[in-house]
Structure formats: structure tokens, C-alpha cells
Chain A
Amino acid sequence: MENICKSFPGVRALDNVSFEVLPAEVHALMGENGAGKSTLMKVLAGAYHADSGSIYLDGKLITIDSPQRAMELGINIIYQEFNLVPHLSVAENIYLGREPQAAIPGFVNSKKMREDAQEVMDNLGAQIDVRTLVHRLSVAQHQMVEIAKATSRRSKVIAMDEPSATLTEHELENLWRLIRQLRTEGVSIIYISHRMEEVFNIADRVTVLRDGHTVGTAPVNAVTKEDLIQMMVGRKLEENFPKAGVPVGAPMLEVRGLTRKGVLEDINLTVHAGEIVALAGLVGSGRTEIARCIFGADPFDAGTMTLNGKPLTVRSPRDAIKSGIGLVTEDRKQQGLVLGMTVRENTTLAALRSLTTAGFISSSRERAVAEEYVKSLGVRTPSVEQMIRNLSGGNQQKVVLAKWLFTHSKLLIMDEPTRGIDVGAKVEIYQLMNELVKQGVGILMISSELPEVLGMADRIVVVRGGRIVGEMDRADATQEKIGRLAVGI
């Protein structure tokens, strides 16, 4: 790909980016959020049209004007957001659009489709029956089906956008085995990931993008982790997890016996003022469900809660917010933001009352508030009037945070607060969390990144299968201990 340029309203996503992949190579693509990695891949896959620049395949100039064309040329991409049809089976999804023909023209050879699909899934070590309907699968299994889709096509180049985001270690190993196998077959793999360990593990070369430019390309064994961080961020990062030593105050939130039939069983939890409690565990262990019950987003069957000693009844998120509880949701697109609104409107959405007199919103005060938060959180946007859907994922997440900071919650539940956020911005968010606990805010943090849990939490609570299976202080915690409890060994 040569000199690719791509702009969106107000944002120059790609600025003369050149990127080259050798045959039978695993090439990692790294960069901060908003650096342009996903955009570049979407241009390659035919989902976007580049404003200028050219693409060559095997030395020949090609034009990719649609995803079909890309697939015909042997370029396949596995997206972060899944493109599966929920009410069709795994097999049908894998072979969508290219179902094997039966003897009678127009009819599908279901048996062959099923057998072929099962073979592909077994190769991935996924242990999924391809007759299962997709909507019954977990998020991680969705990911596996997406991978199966791409690998079952004859490909020259496969691009994977954050493939490991939802996979367990075991599944990841399988994926890497598959990648290595594809490499021996001559396929090139473009691997986008934030996780350094993975890049060093699987990739041959790595290219770093920053702010829509190519910073550099190097063989993986010629660079160190610090080199890569410096390339991505452009400056040296002092500390990954700036943990402030803040004295922990009185118990703020106390949850006793929280139970939700079939989902949660007898959850007991305490969060003190000025404390960061981390809920650790595997995807699907019930941590988000705990958060939602505390926040009033879901009903529960038994249990009591007290806030600062007074009994707490929360029947809706509205009640929770009134009581001073906030929830930074896991899924920003579906739950955290109104995509059709501007940055300003999203920032103030949960606390409009403070900007309202006699029912009318003070637009000058609102703009001032929005601009203040954009500045203090370092949100990259040309103005607060920008439509939120034009911002990159990481910047959108910052706006979600801003929304909850503006509510001045006393107890902030943060569900995967740094998911999809680049290294530089992560540190900013941790520092923000420090500021909050200094002011006496209690934070309940749900995180699947163990370094983050170990780095920022005062206490760690491990959840498995809807139950609390362990609790430990910061000083006693190790990755191994948490991992064992989370998995149940």
C-alpha cells in the first residue's frame, strides 16, 4: 500500500501511509487509538475508499472498490466488531454467500457445508458444534467463528484486527498455531494488536503508525518494548501504573448477599472511600452483572446494599445516579454514547440538571463544561460540536468517562475503563483515577487486564461463575493467584 490518504469530516485519518507486507510473513501493525490502523485495514478490505494512493498485490496495481473485490483478490479481514447473522448456524455463517451447491441447482448441500465447517472449526481447536445458532455463542466463540470465516477462504492476505481481545490463553495458542500454519502455506498475516507480548510472540516484522503517519517498520527481534512504546507515543513513558498512596476511608458501599437467580449467588462486597477495588475474573464470570445490579440497570432477587451507612434502594439507573453512583459501561457504542449526538451533548447527558434552570439548558454553561472536560481529558476532537461518531474509539471512551466525571459520583463503577485505549491515554486515565480517590471517591473497577488490576487496585476480588471465589490485598496479590482463582484450579 503506497501513499494512502484518507480523511473524514474534521479528521485526517491517514496521511500518506505506506505499508508493505511480504509473502508468508506475520506483520504486526501497532499504534495508539486514532493512529489509523483500523482505517488502513478497512481501506485494504474495500470497506472504505482511499482519497488517494495506490495498492499493489504481487507487484500488480489493483483497485479495491468493494469488500467483494477484496475477497476475490484473496484479501480477507477479521474485524473487531463481528459481522455474524445471529439466527443462522455457525456453518451457515462461515459459508455465507458461497454455500456448496447440491445436485439440484439452487439448493444447498447442507451436509457438505456442515462437514467442511466442522473441519475448519476443529482445526482452530474451538470445540463448537457448527450446527449451533450463533446467538447462543459467547463473545469469544463469535471471535472464533469470524476467524474460521476468514481462514476458510482461499487467502493471500489475512488481516486480523485485535483478534485476541476476547480469547482465553488456550484459544489464543490455537490461533497462533493456525497463523503459523497459514504462514507455511504462503499466506501473509497482518496482525493488529495492542499487546506487546503477542507481537513479540507471533510477528516477524512490526510497523508502527502514529497520528495517521507511518513511524517505522522493523523486524521484531531488532526492537525492544520500550522502542515500540516510544514509536507509538513519541515520548518516553515514565511509569505504566502511577499508583498513588491514598489513605482509605470509611466503608462507602456495602453489598450483602446479592443474588440474582441463575446469574449471581450471594455476592458480598465493600468499597471504601478513596479505595480502588478491582473485580477480576474471566469474561462471562458475572462481574458486569454485579455492576449492573448495583447501578440499578438490572433487577435482583435478594440482597441488601448500604451507601455510607444508609440503606440503598436502587430500582433504576436514575436512582443510582441520584444516590451518587455512576457506571462507566463496558460497551461504549451500545450503552455509553448516543452516536447521533455531538461531543458536547454526550458529555453532559447524565447530569443535565445542573445546567438547567426552569427546564431550560444554559447553552453557554454547557459548552464551557464540555470544553473543560475535552481539555482536561485530552480528547482529540476539532471542537465539542463534532459528532461523536467521527471520533476514534479511544477518544469516544474518554467522552464516556467525561460524562461520568461530570456527574460527580461518589462511587464510580468502571467496567473495562481502558479497553481499546492506547498506552499513552491509559496512563492519563490511571492518573485520573488517582485524582478521584484523592478526593474521596470510591472506585469499583472491572478489568480483564491483570497488569492493570495489579497496578492500580488496593484490593482485588475474584469472581467466577457468578460467585466471589477470592479476595486479596494489593500486597499479597500475584498474577498467578488471581489467574488460578479465576479459572478454578
Chain B
Amino acid sequence: MTSNDNRQGSASKSRSARTAAFQRFNFFGGPPTPNNGGASMAAFRRFNFLGINPGVFTGFVVLLVGLWITTPAFHSAQNFQNIAQQVSINAIIAVGMTFVIITAGIDLSVGSILGFVGITTAMTLMAVPIVHRLGDGAMAAAVVVGLLAGALVGFLNGAAVAWLRMQPFIVTLATMWAIRGAAEVMTDGSPIGIVSGDAPLAALRNSMLQDKFTVLGMGYLGPFPIAALVAVVIAVIGHILLTRTRIGRHVYALGGNEEAARLSGINVAGIKLFVYTLSGVLSAVAAILLMSKLVSGQPTAGQGYELYAIAAVVVGGTSLFGGKGSVVGSIIGALIIGVINNGLDLHGISAFWQQIVTGAIILLAVLLDEVLRRRRGQL
């Protein structure tokens, strides 16, 4: 197929990172199918590992190779750790988003959940009665509260979609506004951070926040950032859930044809509740990591993260129409966006250009997906 030829031709050894980035747009393939639906590309046929779309994967590899060769600063352990740190948070959100989008839904509230859960976690962590009673155990309490807060928001989203039969776009749009507002209200607009020395239990609380809790977001286990390890574990569990369990199969069926799924006895409302709650919980995990990194609960945290997550999922090959997608694809999508931004950073290109490039990637990824799908359909 043509993509193979292009790959040989553009082994962009002497081009800048940005051109390499644009080159790889040719290699986005169609959405990954749970099984290799009779694809005609013989070489790619066997490449159905983990449901990764061969086009997306080759694109990613080319990108890595391109950057490796052109940018010396790229292949340092430090840089990879940086990338891992930054991408992990978005990757975790993208896993949850994958589930939601496969059901032909969408969750626009994840960014706001980052802010909301961030401040509730911080507030719990720094709450005097809790620290007084539990000491360091307040950290565990904070995590639990944060996860519950995310689950609650997710459940509300799911309930509106499943029981009130509202459109996911509208519901999560409303939640996005409302939860962000709630976070601002609860904190009076100011971040929850270290307290001044004369506040009760100041030393203990500040040390917990700055030294101990921050380990989650900034700590390392050997060479690996803890945040990245968390992301990997979540991705693995998510992938197994989606591809090997009954719930996962039901998620795909619901997205593929909701009416047929219902008439086959699938608990449609239950599945919808599940995916939105899951998205809320995973966003909460990301929120906790982010909060720990920022060493404060910021009510404005996470603004715009929902778009990154959706972009990662779409670039990774999941169809917005539902029924098709993979967790691993979304992780790669998140990595692609992260690596490209990293590459642009290393070349000193401003953050504004990065936004333009990210937008262009998404556009071209979806465009190529469409073109390849049409070509396959006309075979």
C-alpha cells in the first residue's frame, strides 16, 4: 500500500522536528478494529498486536526515530522522564475518555474535574481535624476523598445520560461549567496551598503537602516516574477490561448499535453509568497526581485538558461515532501529542506554535482516517 512506500521515501534524516512531524501524517491508519477485519494490507495484517492500529504505530515510531536523529537533546533519560511526567496525566484521562467515546458519547467535564478534585483533595489533605486525627494518614484520606469526588461527578454525568436520556455533549458541557464554578466557590477563587506559619499544625501540614504528598506527582521508582507507572497500570487494566471482559464487549456493542445491543439484552443504562463514572474516577486519579505535582489545589487546574484527551483518543484511532477504539491507541495518541510538543520545545518553538501544530495533527489524523476508511470501503 502507499503508506509503506512513503515511509521508505521520507526517512527524514536531515529535517527538522517539525517537518518530521508533518511527514508522519501520511501514516495514520484507520481505526483499530478489535479483530483484523479482513484488511488487505498483507504486511500489516499480522500486526494486530494489542489492537494497535498499524498506521498510528508506524507513525509514532517514525516520529521517535526522526526526533532521535535530529535532536540530540531528545534522547536523554532526563528528557524521557520529562515526557513521561507530562504525558502521564493526560494519558490517564484519555483512558477514561476512550471508554466514553466508544459508546458514542463524550465527556467534556474531565478538565473541570481536575480542578474540582484537585481542590477537594488539597482541602482534605490540609484539613486540620483530619491531620490532627490521622497525621500522615491524611494523605490516604485525601486520595479517597478525591476519588469519590471524581466518581460522584462521573456518576451524575452517567445518570443524566442513562436515565434522563440526555445528550452526553450537553450534559458534560453543563457539568464542565458547574463543577468549575463549584471549585471556585469552594476555594473563594484562591488556591489551596501551604499555610502561613502561625496556622494550627502548620509545620506538619506544610511538610505533608510539600515533601510527602508531592511524591505521587514528582517522585520516582528507580528511573521511572511514579506518575508514569500509575498511568501504565491504568492503561493495562483498561485494555484488559475493554478487550477481554463481558463489560468491555458490551461497551463496544452499545457504541456499535445501541438498539441492537438493547434488544440483545445488554444493560444499556448500566454500561453508560459505568463508563461515565469510570471517566470521573480516572480524571480524579489524574487530578490527584496533578495536584501533588503543583503542590497546591488550583481551582483553575486542568483547563483545556478535555480537548487534549479527546485529541489523544481520536489520533489513536477511536471513532467518535462509537463502536471502535482501543486504550493502547489512545495512549499512543497521547504520546504522539506529547512527544511532538516536546520536540517543538527542544527546538525552542513557542508554545503558541505548539498549539497550531497540535491542531493540525488532529485535523490531518482524522482526515487520513476518513480517506483510508473510504478507500477500504470502496475495495
B38 touches A352 (CB 8 A): no
A9 touches B246 (CB 8 A): no
Interfacial chain B residues near A420, Cβ < 8 Å:
none
For B262, the closest partner residue in chain A by CB is A317
For A351, the closest partner residue in chain B by CB is B265
Q: How distant is the Cα of A45 from the Cα of B322 in the complex, in angstroms?
A: 31
Interfacial chain B residues near A49, Cβ < 8 Å:
378
B245 touches A361 (CB 8 A): yes
B37 touches A342 (CB 8 A): yes
A361 touches B246 (CB 8 A): yes
Chain B CB within 8 A of A341 CB: yes
A353 touches B246 (CB 8 A): yes
| Residue from B33, B40, B257, B259 with most neighbouring chain A CB atoms (10 Å) | B257
B139-166 interface (Cβ within 8 A of A) = none
Chain A CB within 8 A of B356 CB: no
**Given contacts A317-B264, A338-B261, A341-B252, is CB(A385)–CB(B244) below 8 Å?**
no
Chain B CB within 8 A of A474 CB: no
Q: How distant is the Cα of A336 from the Cα of B245 in the complex, in angstroms?
A: 22
A339 touches B257 (CB 8 A): yes
Chain A CB within 8 A of B82 CB: no
How many chain A residues touch the partner (CB < 8 A)? Answer: 40
A342 touches B263 (CB 8 A): no
B246 touches A390 (CB 8 A): no
Chain A CB within 8 A of B249 CB: yes
Interfacial chain B residues near A107, Cβ < 8 Å:
none
Chain A CB within 8 A of B260 CB: yes
Chain B CB within 8 A of A97 CB: no
Chain B CB within 8 A of A159 CB: no
B218, chain A: closest CB distance, angstroms: 35
Chain B CB within 8 A of A329 CB: yes
**Given contacts A10-B38, A318-B266, is CB(A334)–CB(B379) below 8 Å?**
no
B38 touches A337 (CB 8 A): no
A348, chain B: closest CB distance, angstroms: 8
Q: How distant is the Cα of A342 from the Cα of B323 in the complex, in angstroms?
A: 12
Bitwise, B78-121 to A at CB < 8 A (1) or not (0) is 00000000000000000000000000000000000000000000
**Given contacts A341-B252, A360-B245, is CB(A334)–CB(B34) below 8 Å?**
no
Majority SS of interface residues in chain A? mixed
Bitwise, A396-424 to B at CB < 8 A (1) or not (0) is 00000001000100000000000000000
Q: How distant is the Cα of A164 from the Cα of B250 in the complex, in angstroms?
A: 37
| Residue from A297, A322, A341 with most neighbouring chain B CB atoms (10 Å) | A341
B285-339 interface (Cβ within 8 A of A) = 323-324
**Given contacts A352-B246, A359-B245, A359-B247, is CB(A338)–CB(B253) below 8 Å?**
yes
Q: How distant is the Cα of A221 from the Cα of B283 in the complex, in angstroms?
A: 73
Chain A CB within 8 A of B35 CB: yes
A460, chain B: closest CB distance, angstroms: 26
Q: How distant is the Cα of A390 from the Cα of B33 in the complex, in angstroms?
A: 14
Chain B CB within 8 A of A387 CB: yes
Picked from A316, A321, A337, A387, the residue with its CB within 8 Å of the CB of B260 is A337
Bitwise, B256-287 to A at CB < 8 A (1) or not (0) is 11011111111100000000000000000000
| Residue from B34, B246, B252 with most neighbouring chain A CB atoms (10 Å) | B246
A110, chain B: closest CB distance, angstroms: 35
Interfacial chain B residues near A387, Cβ < 8 Å:
33, 37-38
A339 touches B256 (CB 8 A): yes
Chain B CB within 8 A of A283 CB: no
B245, chain A: closest CB distance, angstroms: 5
Chain B CB within 8 A of A350 CB: yes
For B258, the closest partner residue in chain A by CB is A338
Bitwise, A59-101 to B at CB < 8 A (1) or not (0) is 0000000000000000000000000000000000000000000
Interfacial chain A residues near B249, Cβ < 8 Å:
345, 349, 352, 361
| Residue from B39, B244, B263, B378 with most neighbouring chain A CB atoms (10 Å) | B263
Interfacial chain A residues near B37, Cβ < 8 Å:
9, 342, 385-387, 390
For B269, the closest partner residue in chain A by CB is A316
Chain B CB within 8 A of A262 CB: no
How many chain B residues touch the partner (CB < 8 A)? Answer: 31
For B37, the closest partner residue in chain A by CB is A387
A337-395 interface (Cβ within 8 A of B) = 337-342, 345, 349-350, 352-353, 356, 359-361, 363, 385-387, 390
B35 touches A342 (CB 8 A): yes
Chain A CB within 8 A of B36 CB: yes
Picked from A339, A359, A407, the residue with its CB within 8 Å of the CB of B246 is A359
A403 touches B264 (CB 8 A): yes
**Given contacts A340-B324, A345-B249, is CB(A9)–CB(B260) below 8 Å?**
no
For A318, the closest partner residue in chain B by CB is B265
A345 touches B246 (CB 8 A): no
Q: How distant is the Cα of A176 from the Cα of B148 in the complex, in angstroms?
A: 68
Picked from B247, B252, B263, B324, the residue with its CB within 8 Å of the CB of A335 is B263
For B322, the closest partner residue in chain A by CB is A340
Bitwise, A176-203 to B at CB < 8 A (1) or not (0) is 0000000000000000000000000000
B245 touches A341 (CB 8 A): no
Q: How distant is the Cα of A342 from the Cα of B265 in the complex, in angstroms?
A: 18
For B267, the closest partner residue in chain A by CB is A318
Q: How distant is the Cα of A27 from the Cα of B266 in the complex, in angstroms?
A: 46
For B270, the closest partner residue in chain A by CB is A318
Bitwise, A138-167 to B at CB < 8 A (1) or not (0) is 000000000000000000000000000000
A386 touches B38 (CB 8 A): yes
A150, chain B: closest CB distance, angstroms: 24
Q: How distant is the Cα of A341 from the Cα of B33 in the complex, in angstroms?
A: 9
**Given contacts A8-B379, A318-B265, is CB(A345)–CB(B34) below 8 Å?**
yes
Picked from A8, A350, A356, the residue with its CB within 8 Å of the CB of B264 is A350
Chain B CB within 8 A of A457 CB: no
B41, chain A: closest CB distance, angstroms: 11
Chain B CB within 8 A of A5 CB: no
A411, chain B: closest CB distance, angstroms: 14
Picked from B39, B40, B260, B378, the residue with its CB within 8 Å of the CB of A338 is B260
A146, chain B: closest CB distance, angstroms: 24
Chain B CB within 8 A of A35 CB: no
Q: How distant is the Cα of A320 from the Cα of B262 in the complex, in angstroms?
A: 11
Q: How distant is the Cα of A352 from the Cα of B271 in the complex, in angstroms?
A: 15
Interfacial chain A residues near B324, Cβ < 8 Å:
340
A296, chain B: closest CB distance, angstroms: 9
B38 touches A390 (CB 8 A): yes
For A336, the closest partner residue in chain B by CB is B260
Interfacial chain A residues near B34, Cβ < 8 Å:
341-342, 345
B253 touches A341 (CB 8 A): yes
For A403, the closest partner residue in chain B by CB is B264
B267 touches A9 (CB 8 A): no
Chain B CB within 8 A of A327 CB: yes
Interfacial chain A residues near B247, Cβ < 8 Å:
359
- Given A356-B245, A361-B244, 16 more pairs with CB closer than 8 A: A316-B262, A337-B260, A340-B256, A340-B323, A340-B324, A341-B34, A341-B252, A341-B253, A341-B256, A342-B34, A342-B35, A345-B252, A356-B246, A359-B245, A361-B249, A386-B37
Give 8 CB contacts A-B under 8 Å.
A9-B40, A321-B264, A322-B265, A335-B259, A338-B252, A345-B34, A345-B249, A403-B264
Interchain residue pairs A-B with the least CB separation, the first 8: A9-B38, A338-B256, A321-B265, A350-B264, A387-B37, A340-B323, A340-B256, A338-B257
